[in-house]
Amino acid sequence: MRYISTRGRAPALAFDDVLLAGLAPDGGLYVPETWPSFTPAEIAAMAGLDYPALAARVMAPFVKGSVLEGQLEGLAREAYAGFTHTAIAPLKQLAANEWLLELFHGPTLAFKDFALQCVGLMFDRVLAVRQQRLTIVGATSGDTGSAAIEAIKGRAAIDIFILHPAGRTSEVQRRQMTTVSEKNVHNIAIKGTFDDCQNLVKELFADAAFRAEINLSAVNSINWARIMAQVVYYFWAGVHLGAPHRAVTFSVPTGNFGNVFAGFVAGKMGLPIDRFIIGSNRNDILTRFFETGAMTTAGVEPSLSPSMDIQISSNFERLLFEYLDRDAAAVERLMAQLKQSGSYTVPAAAYQAMCARFSGYRLDDAGTKRVMAEVFAATGEMLDPHTAVGVHAARTAKANPASPRIALATAHPAKFPDAVFAATHIKPELPRALADLFNRPERFTTLDADLDQLRRFIRSAIN
């Protein structure tokens, strides 16, 4: 399988190169040259597989020709061995036709573990074959940093540096990063905002000499391998609730559009999906898009669901590429418009086709707490604020009543204890593996928001 860039001006690459590259050199995102698909009989035969076996089957077409070919099942078993629920991704029924797909039983209690636990191992194996070393640098405002650190810690050929804004992440989120003791993990508290952190990372990537010197890479959600690993749980849920014989509906709380795009890929691969319902908080650029056909950036404001506080949904570019019939020049034009004027509009035919498959809803903080309280009162389930946004969208959307509605539960409630307490007056408990989080020693370095300081720190830490 080969991969092409959504902007059409980068050479096609094999899976292993796409894994290590992340972003394409023309600024685009990699997508498979063609979509592999399963027949209804092949999907029916997925029933009864355990999660790692299913993962191997769903991911196999994407890694044809990779050094990982034939190793996927073992890799997936290792990746998901640390999950604390034996089903890995359990489905829980909330109401007559409403289901929660719990994606928070991994080591950092958010769905990002599904992709990153796999991708960490993939990096390790490809680097071992190539006898290369790699330095990963990323910025985080919350969940991504800890999931990446958990996935990379202790890996011999990789150093990871995660920047977070000093004093501006939740204490649980910070401690999940800073209490990891492995030597290849480097936490940096930047005296500044999340934007300062992200700008420093961008400047590092723009410094070609330094980039080559340390073999710099990223694990943010534009990496194709992360999307690929997330496709699996859509098949998992679909097959458990009746696919291929009946179509299901997914509701996804959305930020960068990575998670819901993985669902779209599952549909391309033959999983019968009725509709995608998207939930956003007050930072509702995607919901506004599905209401109007115009993608228009606005400022970011903090909300109870910080992992969806985004200005631009970077993975939306992949969807655009599909709905513009893979016209890379057209994608590039719209992306240039967005950069220049903060806005673009998609052609009417593409917009209509998107609306036949996707719809977006929004929920403010007061509404989020209300939904958390309602669900708790009715079912005893505690939802984290991100999940509540998705459940609200699932309940609001007009969708086929005969299609099981599956809301993705993207984080464990204990990751956001203050919001959960405000809504339910109960303090959610951390799972046993993290129960002593507040007693573990923290380790991080504080730096100014200064590129030179950062470069010096990275150089000295990896040598």
Ligand X SMILES: *Cc1c(COP(=O)(O)O)cnc(C)c1O
Name the site residues for ligand X (rule: CB under 6 A). 110, 112, 143, 221, 253-259, 307-308, 386, 410-411
Q: Which of 91, 406, 102, 44 has its CA nearest to residue 249?
A: 406
Q: C-beta of 111: minimal distance to ligand X in Å?
A: 6
Q: C-beta of 308: minimal distance to ligand X in Å?
A: 5
Q: C-beta of 143: minimal distance to ligand X in Å?
A: 4
- Rank residues 57 and 386 by Cβ distance to ligand X and give the closer one: 386
**Which H or E element spans position 371?**
helix 365-379
Q: Are 377 and 70 in contact (CB under 8 A)?
A: no
Q: Which two tokens stand for residue 186?
A: 């480097």
Residue 347 main-chain phi, psi, to 5 deg = -55, 150
Q: How far apart are CA 122 and CA 18, in angstroms?
A: 12
- Rank residues 165 and 244 by Cβ distance to ligand X and give the closer one: 165
Residue 100 main-chain phi, psi, to 5 deg = -105, 130
Catalytic residue among 64, 92, 112, 415: 112
Q: Which of 199, 174, 171 has its CA nearest to residue 454?
A: 199
- Rank residues 43 and 197 by Cβ distance to ligand X and give the closer one: 197
Q: Which two tokens stand for residue 44?
A: 């029916």
Q: Which pairing describes strands 294-296 and 343-345: parallel, antiparallel, or unpaired? A: antiparallel
Three state DSSP letters for 314-354: CCHHHHHHHHCCCCHHHHHHHHHHHHHHCEEECCHHHHHHH
Q: C-beta of 102: minimal distance to ligand X in Å?
A: 12
Q: Which pairing describes strands 185-191 and 445-448: parallel, antiparallel, or unpaired? A: parallel
Q: C-beta of 7: minimal distance to ligand X in Å?
A: 21
DSSP for 173-205? Answer: HHHHHHT---TTEEEEEEES-HHHHHHHHHHHH
112 among known catalytic residues: yes
CA 235 to chain centre: 17
- Rank residues 46 and 149 by Cβ distance to ligand X and give the closer one: 149
Q: How far apart are CA 399 and CA 275, in angstroms?
A: 7
Q: C-beta of 347: minimal distance to ligand X in Å?
A: 24
**Which H or E element spans position 42?**
helix 40-44
Q: C-beta of 319: minimal distance to ligand X in Å?
A: 12
- Rank residues 43 and 420 by Cβ distance to ligand X and give the closer one: 420
Burial (CB < 10 A; 0-12, 13-18, 19+), residue 452, is exposed
- Rank residues 109 and 121 by Cβ distance to ligand X and give the closer one: 109
Q: Kindly state the DSSP code that residue 306 receives in the 8-state scheme.
A: G
- Rank residues 135 and 387 by Cβ distance to ligand X and give the closer one: 387
Q: Which two tokens stand for residue 316?
A: 């939306």
Residues annotated as catalytic (active site), given as ranges: 112
